Chains A and B, each alone.
Chain A
Amino acid sequence: MTRDINQTIIRIAEIIINTLKLEDVTPQAFDADLDLVDEVGVDSMDLATIALVLRDEYGIRIDEDYYPKLTTVRIIAEYISNKLTSGE
């Protein structure tokens, strides 16, 4: 489970880096506990875009009113993991 979460974290970091065209950071070096809004500068449209890419990648629907609460890579990874486990 831990290994799966870590893989998910790296993949999510990669998606965020690609979506936001971030430079000078690798998925492996991306701090999973950084606050995406306060510390990375993600805004609502960025987060909506990331949510759509995650929907493609994992085949899960992220509730529109919930994705603003997905404020760190770790929280996103845990959310996805729970969704996949529960089969929603």
Chain B
Amino acid sequence: MTIAAKAYKFSEIIADPVIGARWEKVRRYFFLRESTYDMSNRCNIRCEGCYYFTGDKQFAEENRDAQAWRQLLEAEKARGITFVVLAGAEPSLVPELCAACHEVIPLGAIASNGLKKIPPAIAYRIHISVWGNDQTSLAIRKAPDMLYRQIENYQDDARAVFVYTFTPINIDEAREVTELLARHGLKITFNMFSAPVGYSGPLRHNAETLARTEQVMTALLAEFPETVLFSHYNIMAHTRRQGLHELFSCSYPRMNPSTDIGLGRSFRQYRTNLQWDRDAACCVPDTDCDDCRHYAAGSAVVTARMYRHATDPLTFSAWLDYVDTYLAVWVKGYAKGANLCAVPVAPPPNHEPLPR
């Protein structure tokens, strides 16, 4: 949809009571400052196209000393980190380290394949990765009965959000997975396969698969509004021919040389040896930045671009839907509201991308 050129003041936009209420709802979470942590260099499955097992981070030595992790998180907290993302390779294999992190910084999320249940005392959001139906998962992830086991582990667990990664070969399976999760009262959100550096296999999206994914996401969002945590603007931002960096200029250190403020200043991506490298720091290291449409990247990159979306009520509503979705997906206990914007809105023009 093309937006009319009337110039709105920000105060006019948020004077709308519905927009104003949503603005006040989301801005209470502007204090969130994230960093991410690789918890283990082991995984109990091996998926095609896994970004963790690309590049050299997989070879970092594991630090399995809970006290060392606690000290790291204390230092992170002291420098202003309020939200942790525990990821790669498989955090559920080291629950004692996840618990140590949770004791220090109580807000966060864990990216897991869901095959080993994370103890309930670790009250983070838990993102359970789904790459299609069980037949496709067996082929791509070499693990049988994944959905069955994931659901068994996380049925009635308010921490759980299932993250369906769209690849060119599982687009049409998203419906049966969403239906299944809906029947179990579980939540799902959507991710886009984003190719690791050097990957040229069959999971890399193309123009046709992006368009088909957009159609399926739109249909599922309409049919399963209580199950699907997503918005029309999420769909627009993540299924364009251009990746997130081209659309929004990625603000993670890997692509953003500025250390003035925001992610470029505060974000770190720690490896299993508790070291980090600014040149590699982003939420999905070793992903091909030109192909990055990853949900975790968008959650930070699109959200950070508030200023450019405050042009008119429709565009700002679309951005608010995105932020509301981001918070519902990442923050345990945050309840997603109904989407304000029922039509697709094109992302505002981007500035010149930051130099690499």
Interface residues of A (CB under 8 A from B): 37, 42-49, 51-53, 55-56, 62-65, 67-69, 71
Contacts and interface: CB of A to CB of B under 8 A. Distances in A.
B9 interface: yes
Contacts of A49: 27, 30, 306
Contact of B11 (A43, A56, A62): A56
A67 B351 CA distance: 14
Given A45-B30, A46-B30, A52 B307 contact: yes
Interface stretch (B184-192, B209-217, B255-263): B255-263
Contact of A52 (B10, B31, B249, B263): B10
A56 B12 CA distance: 9
Interface of B: 9-11, 27, 30-31, 33, 249, 258, 260-263, 265, 304-308, 310, 351, 354
Contact of A47 (B11, B27, B261): B261
Given A43-B33, A45-B27, A68 B261 contact: yes
Nearest to B9: A56
A48 B304 CA distance: 9
B10 A44 contact: no
A51 B307 contact: yes
Contacts, number: 53
Contact of A64 (B31, B260, B261, B307): B307
Contact of B260 (A46, A53, A62, A68): A68
Contacts of B258: 68
Given A37-B261, A42-B261, 10 more contacts: A43-B31, A43-B262, A44-B263, A45-B27, A48-B306, A49-B27, A55-B9, A56-B10, A64-B307, A65-B354
**Top 5 closest pairs, chain A to chain B, by CB:** A44-B262, A68-B260, A45-B30, A52-B10, A56-B9
Nearest to A62: B307
B308 A64 contact: yes
Contacts of A46: 30
Contacts of A68: 258, 260-262
A10 to B, nearest CB: 20
